[in-house]
Structure 1
Amino acid sequence: MSDYTRSLEEAARFLRAHDRFLVLSHISPDGDATGSALAVAHILKDLGKSYTVINEGDTPAKFSFLPGFEQIRNLSASPLEDTFSAVIAVDCADRSRMGRVEHLFASDAELLNIDHHPTNDSFGTLNLIRTDAAATAEILYDLTVAGDFPMQPDLALCLYTGLLTDTGGFRYSNTTPHVMESAARLLAYGVNPGDVAERCLEVITLGHVHILRRALARLELSHQNQVASVAVSRQDLAETGADREDAGGLVNYCRNIEGVEVGISFVEAEPDVIKVSFRARSYVNVAELAKKLGGGGHAKAAGCTVKGSLEEVQRQVLALVGEAMGSERG
C-alpha cells in the first residue's frame, strides 16, 4: 500500500468518524479552493454530517454558480462564535494561508489538511498531500473513489471546477492523463464544460477592464526584458471603480509576453499591504521566491502578501527575482 493510498483511507475514516465539521479554504480563494471546500461539504452532507464552511474574507462572486456557494460564511463580515473539534482545511499551502480562523478550533481539535502545494508544511493532525496533483480537487476526486463516497451532480460540478481552474482550462503542464480521465468521468454526471469554462475563464467584469487598462499603461519590463510587472494602488482601484477581485489575473498578461520568464503583479490590498502574484514560464521556481516572502505556491504559480509601501515592495521583490535569475533590474 502506498503512502498516498494510506492517507486517502485515513482521511475517509476521519470524515466518517466525526459528526460536526468546520471546513475552510485559503484566503482570497480561487476556483480550486472554492470548489474543493464545497466538494467536502457535499461529501459530508451525503454522510449525514453537520458542517460549517467558512473563509476569512469574500469568495469571488464568479463562483456563485457552484451548489452550496451561499453557505460559505465570510468571517470578516459575519463572525462566528463557536468552536469545532473536527476541522478540514483544503488548498492551504501552509497554516498561515487559512487566515485568522484558529480561534474556532477547540482545544482538542483534529485538523485534516488536504492540499497539493509543494510548499505545504504538513500542519495538520492528518495530512492528505499529493504535490504532483494538479489541484486539490484532483485529490478529493481520489478521496471520493477511495472512500466509496457517492458521486452526484453537485459534487461532480465542484470537483470539475477545481480541475478546470487550476489547470488553466487544461492548458498548463500539470494537465496529466489522470486529470483528463477524472474530468471525463465527472462529465458523465451532467457537468456542462462550456458553461463552467465561460463562467470561470471567459467572462470578465467591467471593473477588470478598467483596472487592466490602467495597469498595462504602466507595465514595466526589467532584467533584460525577462521580467514583466504591473502595479495597482488603492487609489487606482478607487478611481476606476474596481475592487481587489477585479485586479485578479493581471499577472497572466505579464507572463504571457513573448520572451518574459517571470510575470509579477503588485496589488495594494490595504494601506501598506501588497498582494504579490508570480507566474513563471520555465526555469525560475517562483514558489521559492514566494516562500522567502512568507507565501507559497507552485514552481510556476505562487503568491505572497508583503507589508510596506507599493514602491518598497516592488524594489524588494524585483531584487529577489534578480538574485534568482542572476541579473539586475536594469
Structure 2
Amino acid sequence: MVNNTDFQKAVELIDKSNSILVTTHTKPDGDACGSIAAICDVLAALGKKVEPLLLSEVPEWYRFLFADPPKILGRDISLQQLTEGQFAEFDLIIIVDTNSYSQLPKFEEYLKQNDKPVLVIDHHVTADGLGCVELIDTTAAATGLIVFDFLKYSDWPITDEITHSLFVAIATDTGWFHFSNTDSRVHRSCAELIDAGANPAQIYHDLYQNLSLQRFKLMVAMAKTLELHLNGRYATQHLTQADFERTGAAHKDTENLIDECQRISTVEAAALFVEAGDGRVRCSLRSRGAVNVRKIAAKFGGGGHTMAAGAYLSGPLEHAKQLIFEQIKEQFAEI
C-alpha cells in the first residue's frame, strides 16, 4: 500500500500545478485508459488545465471512457512541437501504469529533457524511477486501485464517470475478476465503486459485447496459427502484417487476444507474436504461475508482471519465436 506521506506529496504537487499533462505506456490497456480517464476528470473538476497525451491509439472498446479522443504523440502533435511548448506549457507531468522508459517511446526523449516535476502512479515491479513523487504499490492488482485510494485520501469528488473509469481499470487488469491477482482488496474496492455509481452490467457490455467485425476476423486468423510445445504446456500464436491487411484490423485490436489459448487445460505459458511493421516483433506473454514471464520479457528490454508481460524482439517472426521458446524451455527445466 502507498503510505499517506506519499499521497500528501502528490496532493501538494497537484495543488500547486495549473497545467498538467497525463500520459501512459504505449498500447494502452484498460487499466491505463481507465486510470487516465479518472485522473483527467478529477483534475478538470479541480479547475486544472489537463491534457491527456497518448503514445498510441485508444482501443475502440475503451473510447467510451473519454468525452473527447486523447491526442496521440506522432500523429496529432510531433515530438518537436511538444518539446518546444507548441502543444502547451505544462508545470506537471503525470505518468500512470508504467515507470519504465522502454514503455514510453518518443516521449522518453521529451522526459529526459524535461525539468518539470513528474508524478508516477504505477503497480509494476519494473521501475526506472521516473518521478520526483511516486505512488507505487506492486501488491495492487491494478493501477486503478492506487488511483482510487489516492482519490479517497485526497477527498476529491468521485463522479459516476470516475467510478466507471476506475471499475474498467480494475476489472480489465484482473481479467474480469478471474486472474490470480483478484484479491479481497479488488472486490472491496469494486463494491465501493458500485455503491458510488459504477454499473458493471453496462461496463461489461461496452467492453466485451461490442466487438468490431475486423477484430473478430483477426481472432479467427490468430486461432489458425495455434501451436503447442513442450507436451502442450506452452502455446504460441502469431499475427503477420498480412493478417492485418486482410482483416482490416489494427494493432490495437490485439489486446487480450493472448488470453484465448489459456483456456486449453494443458497450457501453463503462452505467447502471442505480432509483426510490428518496423522489423521488430511484439511478444505478449502469459503464465499460470509456473513460468515467470516478467523475467523473460526483461531480458529483451520489456517488463510487466510475473504472469503477464511483454517485450519487442528483433525479427523475423521465426527468430523471435525461437528466442522465447528457449527461455520458456529453460524455465520449465528448472521446475
- TM-score relative to the length of structure 2: 0.92
Identical aligned residues as a percent: 31
* In 2, Cα distance between equivalents of 1:3 and 1:64: 29
- CA RMSD across the alignment: 1.8
* In 2, Cα distance between equivalents of 1:212 and 1:27: 22
Unaligned runs of 5+ in 1: none
Partner deviation per Cα, 1:38-96 (whole Å, 9 max, x = no partner):
1111121121111110111111111111143x241111210152253311000014122
1:305 aligns to what SS in structure 2?
strand
1:32 corresponds in structure 2 to 31
1:12 corresponds in structure 2 to 11
1:285 corresponds in structure 2 to 292
1:73 corresponds in structure 2 to 71
1:96 corresponds in structure 2 to 102
1:58 corresponds in structure 2 to 57
For residue 235 of structure 2, the aligned residue among 223, 228, 244 is 228
Q: Does 1:303 align with 2:310?
A: yes
Unaligned runs of 5+ in 2: none
Aligned residues: 325
* In 2, Cα distance between equivalents of 1:56 and 1:242: 19
Measured after TM superposition, the shift of residue 5 of structure 1 is 2.4
Q: Which amino acid in structure 1 is aligned with residue 165 of structure 2?
A: C
- The correspondence of residues 36-47 of structure 1 with structure 2, limited to 5 A, is 36-47=35-46
Q: Which amino acid in structure 2 is aligned with residue 154 of structure 1?
A: E
1:113 aligns to what SS in structure 2?
strand
* In 1, Cα distance between equivalents of 2:108 and 2:20: 14
Q: Does 1:315 align with 2:314?
A: no
* In 1, Cα distance between equivalents of 2:164 and 2:24: 18
- TM-score relative to the length of structure 1: 0.93
Q: Which amino acid in structure 2 is aligned with residue 301 of structure 1?
A: A
- Tell me whether 226-235 or 72-81 shows the greater mean CA deviation: 72-81
Measured after TM superposition, the shift of residue 317 of structure 1 is 1.3
- The correspondence of residues 1-330 of structure 1 with structure 2, limited to 5 A, is 4-68=3-67, 70-79=68-77, 81=81, 82=85, 83-102=89-108, 104-105=110-111, 107-326=114-333
Shift in CA distance, 300/272, structure 1 to aligned 2, threshold 3 Å: same
Measured after TM superposition, the shift of residue 315 of structure 1 is 1.0
Measured after TM superposition, the shift of residue 3 of structure 1 is 5.8
Structure 1 ranges of 4+ moved more than 6 A? none
Q: Which amino acid in structure 2 is aligned with residue 75 of structure 1?
A: L
Q: Which amino acid in structure 1 is aligned with residue 215 of structure 2?
A: H
